Amino acid sequence: DQQVKQNSPSLSVQEGRISILNCDYTNSMFDYFLWYKKYPAEGPTFLISISSIKDKNEDGRFTVFLNKSAKHLSLHIVPSQPGDSAVYFCAARHLGKSTFGDGTTLTVKP
Amino acid sequence: SAVISQKPSRDICQRGTSLTIQCQVDSQVTMMFWYRQQPGQSLTLIATANQGSEATYESGFVIDKFPISRPNLTFSTLTVSNMSPEDSSIYLCSVEDLRDWGPYGYTFGSGTRLTVV
């Protein structure tokens, strides 16, 4: 049973437009949700997180939205830049351990 | 946030041999986490390494196959034993960055890309 799912394996957007990456989860015990970015040959890098008691968290160009009733979160990147091209993982945390989705490869075209 | 040095960055190993991966953190941390990322898949937690106690393994992972050492609060090793081609993966260590208001995410090492032939 995969507790964290990213149903879109890839996403392509034009530079300057909005990128929206989606993630669904099944375990209502998760207390934090996090997004990571990963470049080839590097470890994942933390981007932004949101507590389960909030519905929005913003940090610069990155905003994460949480819909607890739908068990859904999304990451918005505005405006998208070519340097944002990477694999994005969502993760959900419970008791200090994180469960990761399969990742979405974002390509931002100049 | 913590800085993690992980080595080796990559290795090609013969079937049946073992490889030990090392992670050094620049600060003291209570828990270190070991993940595996198989080709085209997500990160899967192998085990949680606590200093001074046995590592806690996730379902599907056993100590005989993935022995872990945690001799102090800044260092850990993961050994992949009796390797087979199915063990070809990227192995990552990580620590959690905790702030006053909550978790700030994991910091990951750069990963060890293991190929078993």
pLDDT digits (tens, 9 = 90+) for B45-80: 999 998 878 899 999 999 999 999 999 999 999 999
How far does B63 lie from chain A, in Å, by closest CA? 19
Query: Hey, where are the domains in chain A?
Result: 4-109
| Amino acid at the residue B17 | T
Which segments within chain B are labelled E, that is strand? 4-7, 10-13, 19-25, 31-37, 43-50, 56-57, 68-72, 75-80, 89-99, 102-108, 112-116
Model confidence at A46: pLDDT above 70: yes
Of A45, A49, A89, the CB nearest to B42: A89
- CA atoms of A104 and A23, how far apart (whole Å): 9
- The whole-number average pLDDT for the span B99-116 is 85
Residues making up chain B, counted from first to last: 117
pLDDT of residue B100: 67
Interface of B with A (CB under 8 A): 1, 4, 6, 31, 33, 41-45, 48, 92, 94, 96-97, 102-111, 113
Q: Dump pLDDT digits (tens) for B13-41.
A: 999 999 999 999 999 988 899 999 988 78
Q: Which of B32, B42, B96 to mutate to test the interface with A (most CBs of A within 10 A)?
A: B42
By CA distance, what is B57's nearest residue in A?
A97
- CATH class, domain A4-109, is mainly beta
| The pLDDT of residue B105 | 82
pLDDT at A11 over 80: yes
Residue type at A46?
F
CA-closest candidate to residue B4, choices B83, B98, B113, B110: B110
Structural contact between residues B78 and A18, judged by C-beta atoms closer than 8 angstroms? no
With CB atoms and an 8 Å threshold, state whether B110 touches A93.
no
CA separation for the pair A53, A56 (Å, rounded) = 10
- Partner residue facing B102 (CB), from A32, A36, A42: A32
- Cβ A43–B45 below 8 Å, yes or no? no
What is the model's pLDDT at position A55?
Answer: 95
A18 DSSP 8-state letter = -
pLDDT number for residue B51: 82
Q: Mutate which of B106, B112, B113 to disrupt the A interface (most A C-beta within 10 Å)? A: B106
The pLDDT mean for chain A works out to 94
CA pair distance B28, B13, nearest whole angstrom: 32
User: CA of B92 to nearest chain A CA: how many angstroms apart?
Assistant: 7
Q: Residue B63: what are its φ and ψ, rounded to 5°?
A: -65, -35
3-state class (DSSP) for residue A83 = helix
Q: How far is CA A15 from the centre of its chain?
A: 19
pLDDT greater than 90 at residue B104: no
Quick check: A45 and A34 in contact, CB under 8 A? no
Read off the tokens for B50.
């606590």
For residues B36 and B19, the answer to whether their CB atoms sit within 8 Å is: no
Measure in Å the smallest separation between the Cα of A32 and chain B Cα atoms: 8
SS3 B87: helix
Domain range B15-111, CATH architecture: Sandwich (2.60)
Q: For residue B111, what is the nearest residue in chain A, using CA coordinates?
A: A43
pLDDT score for A97: 85
Q: What angle do CA B1, B7, B12 make, to 5 degrees?
A: 145
